[in-house]
Chain A
Amino acid sequence: MTYLAKPRLLADVQPKNALGFTRRDYEGAISTLCAGCGHDSTSAAIVQACFELDIEPHRVAKLSGIGCSSKTPDYFLGASHGFNSVHGRMPSVATGAALANRDLTYLGVSGDGDSASIGIGQFAHAMRRGVNMAYIVENNGVYGLTKGQFSATADKGSKSKKGVLNADSPIDLVALALQLGATYVARSFSGDKDQLVPLIKGALRHKGPAFIDVLSPCVTFNNHAGSTKSYDYVREHNEAVNRIEVIMARNAIEASYAPGSLRRVVQHDGSVLMLRKLGLDYDPTDRIGAMNHLHERNALGEIVTGLLYVDESAEDLHRHLNTVETPLNQLDDAELCPGNDLLQALNASLR
């Protein structure tokens, strides 16, 4: 996206958030992806979302697998620890990290090859296990780094750059996430920042497995006629069910919309999701309804976007395991080691 380093001098005149950080404080290294890559727009949306949420950058841990999308955590949140793990296995690494310290915010970035092919098992189990993380898949239907092979999300009948038709049925990660117990499920488009930024904000504030499928076109290998993951195709078939706005608990909620067109969802941490309905009467707290709607619209060739499902009373893995409030990585020796007296008592019982 950007090949020239931005001059530092401008930083002073940039707007600051409540913590005194500028957007620049949430940026990372310069992207090495292709000019026009959807993933860079998603990185920019993550930067914007973290800036607007007043997150301390170092309190975020960003994790990824392998592939173009998985390179992106290097390009945002430079003051955060990042972990570019192994192909398809980010979910397990993120699970372990989340177990170790429940106080950080976990952001996983993956791709359709990483999460729908090699890593579909780990994706599925992270969702059903209830790992407290925002899980973003940058979905372009194609393997970029290895030059244009179909991925498992490529639609049946879509055409590769070389003219090959895809005969395999696609995997819809949103449908899977809904079925497997994700408690915040959304789909968006990297080219629609207004929709994407609030969805990422909501996911970062969600306590539980939050999944966002971001259609993120590959300009080099999958942006041609015949592709169903191109900029043009996604724009033409995008059917948004709602628009959301994330309002932090401490901010006053301004009702600037006509009564009845807004729905208010309060998340666990007190943040409020204001959902503006678009046309049809869509209920994002109805999981079965969401699955039905998704399948109906999919059959018509439409790409349903927006906040598709949210569970206001979501629980996470730590709750299931009843772990202590203190992060496990801050427990000291005395809290961990039972000591010699108890060991001698145990010895006595083993004789």
Chain B
Amino acid sequence: MNSITATNDFVIKFANVNGSGSASANEMFARAIIRMGVPVSPRNIFPSNIQGMPTWYELRVSAAGWLGRRGGSDLMVALNPQTWDRDVAEIVPGGYLFYDSTRELPPSKFRDDINVIGIPLTAICAKEFKDPNQRRLFKNIMYVGALAALVDIELSVIEDLLAQQYRGKDQLIEGNRNAARIGYDYAKAHFACPLGIRVERADGVGDRIFIDGNSAAGLGAVYGGATVAAWYPITPSTSVIEAFTSYCRKYRTDPDSGAARYAIVQAEDELASIGMVIGAGWNGVRAFTATSGPGISLMQEFVGLSYFAEIPSVIVNVQRGGPSTGMPTRTQQSDLLLCAYASHGDTRHVLLLPEDPHECFTFTAQAFDLAERLQTPVFLMTDLDIGMNERLCKPFEWDDSRRYDRGKLMTAEELEAGKDFGRYLDADGDGIPYRTIPGTHPNKGAFFTRGTTRNAYAKYSEAGADYIYNMERLRRKFETAKTLVPAPIATPAAEPTRFGVIYYGSTSPAMAEALTLMAADGVHVDALRVRGFPFASEVDTFVEDHDVVFVVEQNESAQLRTLLINEGDLSPKKLVRVLHYDGTPITARFIAGAISDAIDDRKVQPIQTSMNR
């Protein structure tokens, strides 16, 4: 048997039972590899359940820094009897199986083309620890210790992490360190350490940070000046508000009074959540909600009000698999059209498309400036893959000279000086009117906000001319938005090419790797990552400059492609679908395979034939 040998380049998958406390142990293992200077990217694969169901933690170790999902497992940490057969089957030939050998398993349960490492974790724990709860938790730390020995992670790195995690609780630190050491020593004593796959100290992480996108978005809302958050729990967005809450406690508690410079309300449903956000935005604060697809469906009517009455609101949509309840714990990019055109009538909305936690932070903070500048709903379109997995990313930055852009807020002084106030008047030609907030001036600037049509001075009107004036102004405002949303980022190929690829969001790490894979095979493709909607003019130019443009996205109906065609008047024939939508994060292998195959097909066919799948 050929055992896999690889340094700093392999995939470990942990198969656990959810509710067993394994998540924090697995995360610590990932962090230990980062502390060794080697990039990792973990992904949680979990059910919509609290206890007893299978859950996996897939950890890719990549010296080259590839953060997308690879697929396949070189080392399976099989700790869930329920999923044993499929977990064992998934190991790459020559790979490794790590399991709890307390209970003997028949030879038929193993494969002869893999290396088997059995450690009697349960038995050791039973011997070492009295308390049943300790036995359960220390078992997790014990396998972390054993794995550290097996893949050559320094035990001191694990010990430091434990000391950091349980700072101030010396007894816990010692207990956990002891458990890790027992596992480490057992592996060293019984197996040839390290295995063929191993970690070697490197300098591949740099100053990057390791955080999940939802926490980053919650932090971005704090830095962006949000003071009101209204929300309803829904996977996979809940941790956005949890993070906002804990960062607010930390950074927004008045030092003198101990009172909160924020208000967070768990609403009765998503309709109330967005209603509160709109009420708060109308009254002059920065407010937001976080939700996922089903919540967006419920918010439709209110989103239309926010759009038409021109009230700033920010909605974080951590996308999951749809339609309906769909795949609540799987990832997709399938709410793009739902959000771009949310609500009845002619509506269109600003979307921000972050690729990782760094952009979740930056774009969330920016979303509040955009919402107030444009007086409209702004969606942050993240997804489960970004939101609920920790990812190495650039550190957060904040320019202290930056001031919040409150947009066109007319002040009491301006009103007093007699400045003309027409709430829906296009005073500056950019489509954006001036607004006042309640209580601004004793007898000037008050108006009646409504979802019905009105004239430029906010008086109720169903006159055709007033309606058209308003709709044309809203169109102009959307044109203005094009210049304000984050610009697309181009990655030109090493050689001139007539092929292009457009993608966004969580596809980004897999795409970076796919471009390298393809280039190594002589397939050169110019890439453009869109980061905002409405699309900047560069997007149209990019499509015009290429004969064929692949549109890579994680949904079934090619929603980004539809949006490009609809908004850009682009030729559908040029835009080739590359779609991944089984609920797992897209991989470089998938992208490179799909694009290379399509290009190969194309070489034997005249360029005019349809490439459409």
- Give A residues with C-beta under 8 Å from B: 56-59, 61, 63, 73-74, 78-86, 89, 91-101, 103-104, 121-122, 124-125, 129, 317-318, 321-325, 328-329, 331, 333, 335-340, 342-344, 346-347, 350-351
Q: Give the residues in chain A near B443, CB-CB below 8 Å.
A: 57-58, 79
Question: Apart from A74-B460, A97-B280, A331-B227, what are 11 other A-B pairs with CB-CB below 8 Å?
Answer: A78-B446, A81-B449, A82-B449, A92-B271, A92-B276, A93-B279, A104-B438, A324-B257, A336-B225, A347-B207, A351-B210
Whole-angstrom distance from the CB of A346 to the nearest CB of chain B? Answer: 7
Q: How does the 8 Å CB contact mask read for B264-306 relative to A, with 1 for contact and 0 for none?
A: 1101110111111111111111010000000000000110010
CB-CB under 8 A for A322 and B259, given A61-B438, A337-B225, A343-B396: yes
Q: Are B437 and A329 in contact (CB under 8 A)?
A: yes
Whole-angstrom distance from the CB of A49 to the nearest CB of chain B? Answer: 19
10 contacts between A and B (CB under 8 A): A81-B446, A81-B447, A94-B279, A96-B287, A97-B438, A121-B268, A129-B265, A329-B437, A337-B222, A347-B207
Q: Give the residues in chain B near A95, CB-CB below 8 Å.
A: 230, 265, 272, 275-276, 279
CB-CB under 8 A for A84 and B448, given A328-B227, A329-B284: yes
Kindly state whether residue B251 has any CB partner on chain A within 8 Å.
yes
Q: Are B272 and A92 in contact (CB under 8 A)?
A: yes
How distant is the Cα of A70 from the Cα of B448 in the complex, in angstroms? 12
Whole-angstrom distance from the CB of A264 to the nearest CB of chain B? Answer: 32
Task: Give the total of B residues in contact with A, Cβ under 8 Å.
Answer: 72
How distant is the Cα of A337 from the Cα of B252 in the complex, in angstroms? 8
Whole-angstrom distance from the CB of B427 to the nearest CB of chain A? Answer: 20
Whole-angstrom distance from the CB of A336 to the nearest CB of chain B? Answer: 4
Instruction: Choose from A59, A93, A335, A344 the contact partner of B275 (Cβ within 8 Å).
Output: A93
Instruction: Choose from A91, A101, A324, A340 the contact partner of B397 (Cβ within 8 Å).
Output: A340
Q: Give the residues in chain A near B446, CB-CB below 8 Å.
A: 58, 78-82
Q: Are A86 and B302 in contact (CB under 8 A)?
A: yes
CB-CB under 8 A for A96 and B264, given A61-B438, A323-B259: no
How distant is the Cα of A56 from the Cα of B439 in the complex, in angstroms? 9
Q: Give the residues in chain A near B252, CB-CB below 8 Å.
A: 336, 338
Considering the complex, give the chain B residue whose CB is closest to the CB of A58.
B442
Q: Are B228 and A96 in contact (CB under 8 A)?
A: yes
Kindly state whether residue B440 has any CB partner on chain A within 8 Å.
yes
Q: Are A100 and B439 in contact (CB under 8 A)?
A: no
Q: Give the residues in chain B near A329, CB-CB below 8 Å.
A: 227, 283-285, 437
Q: Give the residues in chain A near B268, CB-CB below 8 Å.
A: 121-122, 124-125
Most buried by A among B254, B279, B451: B279
Q: Are B276 and A58 in contact (CB under 8 A)?
A: no
Whole-angstrom distance from the CB of A32 to the nearest CB of chain B? Answer: 9
Instruction: Choose from A85, A328, A333, A347 the contact partner of B263 (Cβ within 8 Å).
Output: A328
A-B contact count (CB 8 A): 223
Instruction: Choose from B207, B251, B302, B439 the contact partner of A59 (Cβ within 8 Å).
Output: B439
Q: Give the residues in chain A near B280, CB-CB below 8 Å.
A: 96-97, 99-100
Q: Are A97 and B279 in contact (CB under 8 A)?
A: yes
Q: Are B225 and A99 in contact (CB under 8 A)?
A: no
Q: Are A351 and B209 in contact (CB under 8 A)?
A: yes
How distant is the Cα of A344 from the Cα of B399 in the complex, in angstroms? 12
Whole-angstrom distance from the CB of B302 to the nearest CB of chain A? Answer: 6
Whole-angstrom distance from the CB of B406 to the nearest CB of chain A? Answer: 10
CB-CB under 8 A for A328 and B223, given A99-B276, A343-B397: no
Instruction: Choose from A86, A94, A322 the contact partner of B305 (Cβ within 8 Å).
Output: A86
| A-B CB proximity, top 7 nearest | A96-B279, A92-B275, A96-B276, A81-B438, A100-B283, A96-B280, A93-B279
Instruction: Choose from B254, B397, B436, B452 the contact partner of A81 (Cβ within 8 Å).
Output: B436
How distant is the Cα of A78 from the Cα of B275 in the complex, in angstroms? 24
How distant is the Cα of A92 from the Cα of B287 in the complex, in angstroms? 13
Q: Give the residues in chain B near A86, CB-CB below 8 Å.
A: 275, 301-302, 305, 451
Kindly state whether residue B498 has any CB partner on chain A within 8 Å.
no
How distant is the Cα of A294 from the Cα of B34 in the complex, in angstroms? 67
